[in-house]
Structure 1
Amino acid sequence: MYQPHVFTLTEDGYRGPAPSWSTGVPSLWLVDTDRAAEAALLLAPKILDASELARVEKLAFPADRACYTAAHLALRLLLGARQGVAPEAVRLTRERCPSCDGPHGRPATGGGTHFSLSHTRGVALLAFAGAPVGVDVERVPEARVVQEVSAQLHPAEAAELAELPPEERPTAFARVWTRKEAYLKGEGTGLAGGLAREHVGTGPRPVGPPGWAVTDVAVPAGYAAAVAVRAAGRSPAEGDDRRK
């Protein structure tokens, strides 16, 4: 289980350390987007670009707007600290998709920093690394969602869920979903290839696809999260990391 840093957003922005990492070990940051909402409202017009601000306006619910705003402010502030530039000067782009070569692959920026961002109401999770990385955080779903979606998983994962007592399935499903999405985001393909690709497992220990290390991330109760980094045979939760 990987313990992320806690990101605190203030009305003055962020004054903490810049993301740093060892080979194969990403730097992870957790944001309480509800707590950051007031400061985010003040900072957003100064830091977010026109496309980000437009995206905020399109979100129907205040909680979603607050979550998106705080998450993207944290991303720009941390990247700016890493690159030594103002957060509003951070240039965000998209790589080409490895599946179709379209302009919707992994998000990217200059300076050799790979990053990934995920958010759901109340929580955002960011990962930075020197190699391709993906991260995902989700709320633990209701039992009906597990029943509806589990058949779309890898056959081994669907079988694992079916063998569990019903009350344990939502937590196990959240584990496998976040592991799989983190890996697919790290690859740059997302869910377009379907949920049946690769077996990452539903149990307490993830199964890393070849060439990738997948690790669960400690997040508040009611959520699940995972990170996947392209690395040679080493989990992010080994060595000089921030283990819980």
Structure 2
Amino acid sequence: MDKVKVYAMSIAAILDRPVDKLLPLFTRDRQAEILRFRFNADRNRTAYGELMARYLLSARTGVAIENISFGRDTLGKPFCGQSEFQFNISHSGKWVVCSIGKVLNGVDVETAQEIDMAIAKEHFLVNEYNYLLMMPEEERNAALLKLWTVKESYLKYTGEGLSGGLACIDCLALLRGDDRVAAKNFILPDNAVIGICTLKELLPNKIDFFAPITFLK
């Protein structure tokens, strides 16, 4: 079976543009959901994330991108009823990412940022917190982001989301590949961090990048 693929796209150049031209590509209900966001940046991240997933599913199924539609399971995880492919979407800052494959997968992206160690103490396992404390201080925040994205990608893999609880996930075990399900990190050009979770043997070896896409052809 083919490995899960992860795609990343920077929308920095179009982040704050009005989303009006994209809206006809969505159902009326979805348009209304997108417009509930107050800021153009949030609207664009949401719209481009969904369009990216539809584009990737269309390329794999032959179904026209305008005919790709999503549903949500009982836990709120999106799925495409027209395809066997499983996918997941995440966005942060200027980045939109999407993972896709024939098995369950979850992906998370976080922009480079300072995170208080008090948050790690509250949401991380003791072994993870001690692992961070042992690191040189200048490396600690980057390591924390890596663990955080692994936790979130795992919860998106299971479909539980944050309701599943960050504190019960052993990120270090996932990164080591101790079990059948494992995780990996990738670093984007501006030090944003991606976490991807799926079956160990199907973890991707690299990130594939899209140039900014208008989806308006």
Q: Same fold (TM over 0.5)?
A: yes
Letter in 2 for 1:44: L
Quote the offset at 1:235 in angstroms. Answer: 5.3
- Verify: 1:115 aligned to 2:73, yes or no: no
Paired residue secondary structure (2:54): helix
- Verify: 1:163 aligned to 2:141, yes or no: no
Aligned match for 2:145, one of 174, 181, 184: 174
1:131 matched to which residue of 2? 103
1:150 matched to which residue of 2? 120
Aligned match for 2:74, one of 76, 86, 96: 96
Describe the shift of the 1:226–1:190 C-alpha distance in structure 2 as closer, same or farther (beyond 3 A): same
1:7 matched to which residue of 2? none
Quote the offset at 1:118 in angstroms. Answer: 0.3
CA contact (8 A) 1:134 1:183 kept: yes
Q: Kindly report which structure 2 residues correspond to 1:1-244, keeping only aligned pairs within 5 A, or say none.
A: 22-23=1-2, 25-37=3-15, 41=19, 43-97=21-75, 104=76, 106-110=77-81, 111-142=83-114, 145-151=115-121, 152-201=123-172, 206-208=175-177, 210-229=179-198, 231=199, 233-234=200-201, 236-237=203-204, 241-242=205-206
RMSD: 2.5
Q: Report the TM-score, using the length of structure 2 for normalisation.
A: 0.84
Quote the offset at 1:117 in angstroms. Answer: 0.3
Describe the shift of the 1:42–1:54 C-alpha distance in structure 2 as closer, same or farther (beyond 3 A): closer
Describe the shift of the 1:47–1:186 C-alpha distance in structure 2 as closer, same or farther (beyond 3 A): same
Paired residue secondary structure (1:175): helix
Matches of 1:174 and 1:47 in 2, distance apart?
A: 34
Q: Which has the higher helix share?
A: 2
Deviations 1:184-206 (A, max 9, x none): 1011111212211121129xx92
Query: Which structure ranks higher in relative contact order (CA pairs < 8 Å, sequence separation ≥ 6)?
Result: 2
CA contact (8 A) 2:16 2:40 kept: no
CA contact (8 A) 1:200 1:208 kept: no
Deviations 1:120-168 (A, max 9, x none): 12001101010000000001221xx332311121111111112223222
Describe the shift of the 1:121–1:242 C-alpha distance in structure 2 as closer, same or farther (beyond 3 A): closer
Letter in 1 for 2:79: A
CA contact (8 A) 2:186 2:193 kept: yes
Quote the offset at 1:113 in angstroms. Answer: 0.7
Q: Report the TM-score, using the length of structure 1 for normalisation.
A: 0.75
Describe the shift of the 1:243–1:49 C-alpha distance in structure 2 as closer, same or farther (beyond 3 A): closer
CA contact (8 A) 1:115 1:126 kept: yes
CA contact (8 A) 2:188 2:194 kept: yes
Quote the offset at 1:40 in angstroms. Answer: 8.6
Quote the offset at 1:64 in angstroms. Answer: 1.9
Matches of 1:86 and 1:235 in 2, distance apart?
A: 27
Gaps of 5+ in 1: 1-21, 98-103
Matches of 2:14 and 2:48 in 1, distance apart?
A: 6
Paired residue secondary structure (1:206): helix
Quote the offset at 1:52 in angstroms. Answer: 2.8
Quote the offset at 1:39 in angstroms. Answer: 9.1
CA contact (8 A) 1:213 1:235 kept: no
Moved more, 76-85 or 107-116: 76-85
Describe the shift of the 1:243–1:58 C-alpha distance in structure 2 as closer, same or farther (beyond 3 A): closer
Describe the shift of the 1:163–1:38 C-alpha distance in structure 2 as closer, same or farther (beyond 3 A): closer
